[in-house]
Amino acid sequence: MTAASIFVGIVTSALGLAYITYGKRQVKFVPIIAGLALCVYSYFLDGWAWQLAVGAVLAALPFVIDF
């Protein structure tokens, strides 16, 4: 685990926490699920590039799927 992957994990986890809070306040299911996934996925991926790519997809998910 490199410093870059730790940094990407911290940033995406913070974004995930913001999505969870937003989803709870707006009573929306997709931001809560995306936030949980953003908080957890970095434990399962090894390289920082993969973490960044998956994190970008998960961060864009609430804007693509809105219900």
For helices 3-26 and 29-40, give the axis angle rounded to 10 degrees. Answer: 160
The confidence score (pLDDT) of residue 2 equals 87
Q: What is the pLDDT of residues 34-44, one digit of tens each?
A: 999 999 998 99
Number of other CB atoms surrounding residue 50 within 10 Å? 15
Q: Please tell me the predicted confidence (pLDDT) of residue 48.
A: 87
Give the Cβ contact number of residue 9 at 10 Å: 20
Torsion of CA 54, 56, 58, 31, to 10 degrees: 160
Query: In whole angstroms, what separates CA 9 from the centre of its chain?
Result: 9
Q: What is the pLDDT of residues 7-57, one digit of tens each?
A: 999 999 999 999 999 999 999 999 999 999 999 998 998 888 999 999 999
- Say if residue 67's pLDDT is above 80: no
pLDDT of residue 41: 93
